[in-house]
A and B are shown apart, each in its own frame.
Chain A
Amino acid sequence: MTEKDQDKGPDIISDQEKDLALNALTELKKKNYLSCLQNINKLETNRPNDFKVLHNKVVVEYFKSDLRKTEQFQKNLTSVCNQFKIKVDKLEEIDYCIAQFNQAVILYHQKQYTASQRIMDRVYKFIEPMEDNLAKQVSLLAIELQLCLKQPDKALTLISYLENNLIYGGSLPLKGLDKNGKDKKLPLPSPKPISEEIQKKLLKYKIRCYLLNHSISIAAKELKILLKDKSNIDALFMASNLEYLKGNISESLNILSKIPEDCLNYNDHGELSKIMYYNNMGILHHTLGKPNLACYHFQKALKEDIIFTQSLQKKGRWRDIYNSINFLKSFYCFSSISLDDKHLYSIGGSKYHELMYNLGVSLLYAGRAAQAFECLIVCVRRYHRNSRLWLRIAECCIKVHKESNEVDFDLKKKQRELIVEVVGSKNDQKVVLVDSMSKDKKYSVDSQSYAVPVPSLEFASLCLRNAKLLLPADAADIPPVPLFLVPGVTPAAPPPSPSLAPSSPSCAKEIQMLKNSILVASSYVGLCLGDYIIALRHANELLEQEQISNVHKLLGHLYSAECLVLLDKIPEALEHLNPENIKDITFEFSGLENSDSNEVKTNPPPKWFPTNVASVQAVMQYNIAVCKTIRGQFDQASGILKQIWQLRTPDCQVPAHIIMLVIYIELQLGHAETARSLLRQYAFPHRISG
């Protein structure tokens, strides 16, 4: 801010200059960019130091390039800003807002939402004195950014501000500020009618917010208004989304399939309806518990996305190998190349990361954990503050390590594994017994760093640590941003804002479930890696949670017990194995009746083995037998084992480890012959047959 700036007055602008400016504006409205530019060029010779002239010149040049020379525009804009020493964090002059806003627009299209948001925070402070049209554009971008950052509540505040501003011209006094006027009803200024177009636009933003924050009933009410127009594509997509959230999957499918496939394309709209269609189809199938079909749709969407991005690459050498995940990965590397020659509004058209996220989760559900890992690892580079994404990656690692618990109950297979090797023959014949029936434990001996992104338990332990740190805290836990800065004290860096982006924000209950899942996975991974002190800590933290599903409670007790045995605290372990601890294996929080009309029902059917309480009880009993065995109470242990074995039915599956434990007990009791005959009975026939 110099003295010169302050002294600039109306007298300096000549009539001729005013005319040139007016002409430029008229030509611009007619989209005659060339003649508009000529006018501005003339102005520039007269007023070489006028910021607005220089700024507009850059803007019109950009329009002239059909909004394609984005890089050039950014460069020019920055150089104008530098010339006038405009810094975004010291923005104090309203006249410079527009240049900053334009920077933010570009950043928005480049998907640099946080950077864009940082600029908009400053620019938005000048919203009151801003010229009406610019104020509207600034508001709309601010709203869209909040939606991109998955902050629907903030977006809603901005929407209502814009609405008031449009209706009452911004002169509506804010409540509670004026002490004397508090009790009086302030006369509202006469409302101005808003055009139908902007009304619809705002409504659409509102519905998007409601869909994001799961205000289902309000969303339904507002959506009815938009749906009066049957050809409103946006409304149809949102209607399908709403039905999906309500759990009416077939209705959602119905609406979705009615939308014309090619109604939106990149050149005209900057986004492609085909991708949305395939993606949403995938989601619906995922919810129906058909992850393989979901993957198929996500891959189709990805293919469209790649074709689009590729079509804009003049030297695109990529062709047919769409279904290979590796290809997708390599695609990631080149998706950030020069942005030139694309329309500004289609720069951000690719939904690559969102699609990869969806595909990754579906692949995980489909049991293709290694492929899922590849997809999610790509996502996490962009969404590295997403706690749930880190958990998903850890889940991939766990699934690669142990696909399902069914293996623990597969008696036939495990019988075959009792004897690893037969050595010698005749009287010398020796057998080598299995040293561990389950393959869960994998004490790491490699010197390889844990941080190598491969689907290993070691990497999972790091992912889970991130997931736990990034858990979105309850609103109450976040320290309020200090209103005033103390001079000489640099304010503490704002707390990291973890979010579930690209997914919608979640409610407290969902966050609690996420937390429990992180704890249970951390405990399992710790146990498998031999970190049983850490595993015990996580299991205990899990059991301390006020809200916890019965299946997690069961696992918490099982893991605690195992850790305690390894810590040589068998009596404490036995307390955890009390069968009273487990009543059922439901996934929902117990004791919570939910009758909220806004409840979202989009989860795929849960899948976990064992599927019934009886099998779970068998596992618990078996683990009790292990404790007793380790303590040397062989008689009690074998009594329990017999009981489990007798309760065995096709429904109640029992852990296949039983046979080996029985053999162990017989051996320890000195009944070697009994053990041998058991081995001959269970293990030998299989070895001979194959």
Chain B
Amino acid sequence: MSLSVEQCDILLDILEKSNVRTHTLEALTNDIHKKFDSADYFKVGSCIVMLLQYDMLPEIDQRLAAITLLYELFRGEPLGNTPFASVFIHLLYPPEQHSNVGAPKLEYPGQLPKLTPAEKHFVTQLISDVSKDALLKKTALHIISSDVPSSPNADFSAVRLSLAEKQSEWPKTCKSAIPVILSLPDKTANNATEELNRNLVKQLATGENAPVSRVYKPEFVTLAPPLLNCQDELVWLNPTTPKEHLVCYDTTMCIPDIAGYEARQLMNKAYKAALSIPQQQQLLGELEKDPKLVYHVGLTPSKLPELVENNPLIAIEVLLKLMQSKQITEYFNVLVNMEMSLHSMEVVNRLTTTVDLPTEFVHLYISNCISTCETIKDRYMQNRLVRLVCVFLQSLIRNKIINVQELFIEVQAFCIEFSRIREAAALFRLLKQLESGELGLLSSPTLENKTKLEG
């Protein structure tokens, strides 16, 4: 955001005493527009402001030329929109005017020089809405030496107001910045230098991150947080005996599974057709004899629907035996999702009366039943199924296996939809009785019902 050394030289050449003396302000302005790209105007302006702030231009006409250039950089734009508008306001209305402190001489950071009446008059003309052609045709020195007319100051209150408004929107932290450059004259030296110190300017105003573009703002102390201090983080190593886990040889190779063979054959038949009574008894008997046999009869979750459809009694017994198995949820999963039928309902009904089934399972099954009834096309089949579901639900409710409250709306809607069917109407009446508390089934709170259905 600062000029390069070469650019700085060009600017200082323009502002050089001899140059200012011999050229009109208009010529200087044209020069600056010619030698700098509009993208660099802000940098040029910043440098000029610095020259003014630190009183680095030895001659008063140089100062005037600098002010003129600062204004002319953004010629044509309304003053309020230019980045250096506040500089001109400050020049015309220096802060001392506001404060009534008199005694010690106050010096503010980045303070601009106090102008002579002639300069002030010129600046007023410069920034007011009048033609400046005549004004700029003069040299700076000419202007300074000319008389100051006693005309009243032009009114800039509109500009000042808009600037103040704009600034009031800035966060206070932005407005708190001061330049980092500070004059600190060496007390031992006494005679002031009269020349423009080009080196000094270049050191302050050129290069990456030049002092002129840096500011100091009051800053917080930001403490960095402590390291997390926690328990048992580092990895303690104990022996783990990896040698314990080796690959296994299948010792059952070529050892026939005689015990399971008969049962397996019967099961294979049971998937395809109903078994005869003696066959059923034989199979159930063998399963009863050896509690582990059930795992060896070749039943898998995918075969369960066939078994349920053909031999629901066997399916019930087998599932009861598999209750402890790690696979039981998979069997439930198949059961709840299989096509609804008399047999599957019978199996579920029997299971609910014998063991505690997961509530989620029972609810899902009921929902599936209801939606099957609603979607079935065949009117005869539909009637049949609805009656079945109603009887099934009544049995569940009367046996306190489900808590109706949790399914109340769904079941009630079902009853109303199929109110033409006698069983549905009966179920509806049961629901109403429950609701009014006639049957006393609803007295216990929901949670308790869930865990302890038998009361």
Contacts and interface: CB of A to CB of B under 8 A. Distances in A.
Interface in B162-176: 171-173, 176
Q: Which of under 10, 10 to 19, 20 to 34, or 35 or more describes the interface residues of B?
A: 35 or more
Interface in A323-356: 344-346, 348-349, 351, 354
Contact of A513 (B222, B230, B265): B230
Contact of A234 (B101, B241, B337, B360): B241
Interface in B210-269: 211, 214-258, 261, 264-265, 268
A57 B444 CA distance: 63
A131 interface: yes
A602 B360 contact: no
Contacts of A271: 239-242
Interface of B: 54, 56, 101, 104, 106-109, 171-173, 176, 178, 180-186, 189-193, 197, 199-200, 203-204, 211, 214-258, 261, 264-265, 268, 291-292, 295-296, 298, 300-302, 323-327, 329-330, 332-333, 336-337, 354-356, 358, 360-361, 364, 454
A21 B109 CA distance: 100
Contact of A503 (B176, B204, B234, B264): B234
B170 to A, nearest CB: 8
Contact of A426 (B182, B193, B252, B257): B193
25 contacts: A6-B268, A92-B300, A106-B247, A128-B326, A144-B245, A171-B292, A241-B238, A264-B239, A280-B237, A351-B237, A422-B184, A423-B203, A427-B186, A427-B190, A429-B186, A514-B228, A524-B222, A562-B220, A602-B234, A630-B217, A668-B109, A669-B106, A671-B107, A672-B107, A672-B108
Nearest to B299: A92
Contacts of B219: 436-438, 626, 657
A344 B246 contact: yes
Interface in A54-109: 55-56, 59-60, 62-63, 67, 73, 92-95, 98, 101-102, 105-106, 108-109
A133 interface: yes
Nearest to A233: B239
Nearest to A349: B242
A140 B332 CA distance: 28
A558 B222 contact: yes
Nearest to A24: B253
A276 B234 CA distance: 13
A558 B171 contact: no
Given A432-B211, A567-B171, A603-B230, A346 B221 contact: no
A211 interface: yes
Contacts of B234: 282-283, 286, 357-358, 361-362, 503, 602
Contacts of B54: 430
Contacts of B184: 422, 429-431, 676, 679-680
Contacts of B181: 430-433
Contacts of A346: 242
A270 interface: yes
Interface stretch (A9-17, A314-322, A448-456, A468-476): A9-17
A428 B326 contact: no
Contacts of A345: 242-243, 245-246
A88 to B, nearest CB: 15
Interface string A399-439: 10110110010000000000011111111111111111110
B231 A234 contact: no
Nearest to A623: B220
A607 B221 contact: no
A117 interface: no
Contacts of B191: 426-427
Nearest to A14: B254
Interface in A529-568: 551-552, 555, 558-559, 561-562, 565-568
Contact of B360 (A62, A124, A484): A484
A377 interface: no
B254 to A, nearest CB: 4
A443 interface: no
Contacts of B364: 484, 486
Contacts, number: 419
Contacts of A438: 219, 221-222
Contacts of A420: 180, 211
Contacts of A241: 236, 238
B220 A408 contact: no
Given A50-B253, A630-B218, 16 more contacts: A18-B255, A59-B247, A127-B326, A131-B252, A178-B323, A201-B244, A276-B238, A354-B235, A364-B227, A433-B216, A484-B329, A506-B232, A565-B172, A600-B232, A601-B231, A670-B106
A484 B231 contact: no
The 4 A-B pairs with the shortest beta carbon distances in the complex, nearest first, are A129-B295, A670-B106, A10-B256, A426-B189
A259 B410 CA distance: 68
A580 B197 CA distance: 54
Given A109-B242, A657-B219, A402 B224 contact: yes
A92 B199 CA distance: 89
B237 to A, nearest CB: 4
Contacts of A631: 172
B222 A177 contact: no
Given A398-B225, A423-B203, A506-B231, A131 B182 contact: no
Contact of B221 (A245, A506, A603, A623): A623
A354 B238 contact: no
Contacts of A558: 220, 222-223
B136 to A, nearest CB: 31
Contact of B106 (A276, A280, A434, A671): A671
A554 to B, nearest CB: 8
A275 interface: yes
A408 to B, nearest CB: 5
B326 A528 contact: no
A464 to B, nearest CB: 11
A313 B250 CA distance: 33
B236 A587 contact: no
Nearest to A513: B230
A93 to B, nearest CB: 7
B257 A177 contact: no
A503 B232 contact: yes
A627 B225 CA distance: 22
Contact of A667 (B108, B236, B239): B108
Nearest to A522: B225
Nearest to A171: B291
Nearest to B238: A237
B410 to A, nearest CB: 16
Contacts of A101: 248
Contacts of B248: 59, 98, 101-102, 105, 133-134, 137
A155 interface: no
A655 interface: yes
Nearest to B191: A427
Given A179-B354, A269-B239, A408-B223, A9 B254 contact: no
A163 interface: no
A503 B235 contact: yes
Contact of B200 (A424, A433, A626): A424
Output the residue of B181, B182, B245 with the most chain A CB within 10 A. B245
